[in-house]
Amino acid sequence: MKTVKSFAKMKQNKEKIVMMTAYDYPSAVLCEEAVIDMILVGDSLGMVVLGYDTTIPVTVEDMIHHTKAVRRGAARTFIVTDMPYMSYHGSLDRTLENARRIMQESGASAVKLEGGSSVADTVFRLTKAGVPVCGHLGLTPQSVGVEGGYKVHGKLKGEAEELLADAIALQEAGAFAIVLECVPRQLAQIASETLSIPVIGIGAGAEADGQVLVFHDTVGYGNHHVPKFVKTYGNASAVISEALKSYRDEVKNGQFPGIEQSFTMNEEEIPSLYGGKQQ
Ligand X SMILES: CC(C)C(=O)C(=O)O
Ligand Y SMILES: Nc1nc(=O)c2c([nH]1)NC[C@@H]1CN(c3ccc(C(=O)N[C@@H](CCC(=O)O)C(=O)O)cc3)CN21
Q: Which of 227, 232, 236, 237 binds ligand Y (CB under 6 A)?
A: 227
Tell me which residues in 42-61 interact with ligand Y (CB under 6 A). 44, 47-48, 55
Give the Cα separation of 224 and 245 in Å (integer). Answer: 21
174 binds Mg ion (CB under 5 A): no
Return the closest-CA partner of residue 204 out of 228, 187, 216. 187
Spell out the alpha helix ranges (H) of 140-235: 144-147, 157-173, 185-194, 215-219
Query: Is 68 annotated for ligand binding?
Result: no
- Looking at the chain, how many residues does it have? 279
181 catalytic per annotation: yes
Return the closest-CA partner of residue 113 out of 16, 184, 40, 217. 40
Q: Which of 5, 14, 228, 277 binds ligand Y (CB under 6 A)?
A: 228
Return the closest-CA partner of residue 171 out of 116, 212, 125. 116
**Least distance in angstroms from the C-beta of 253 to Mg ion:** 45
Query: What is residue 50's DSSP assignment?
Result: T
- Residue 227 binds which entry of ligand X, ligand Y, Mg ion, none, with Cβ cut-offs from 5 to 8 Å by kind? ligand Y
202 binds ligand X (CB under 6 A): yes
217 binds ligand Y (CB under 6 A): yes
181 binds Mg ion (CB under 5 A): no
Q: Catalog residues that contact ligand Y under the rule CB under 6 A.
A: 44, 47-48, 55, 139, 141, 150-152, 182, 214, 216-217, 224, 227-228
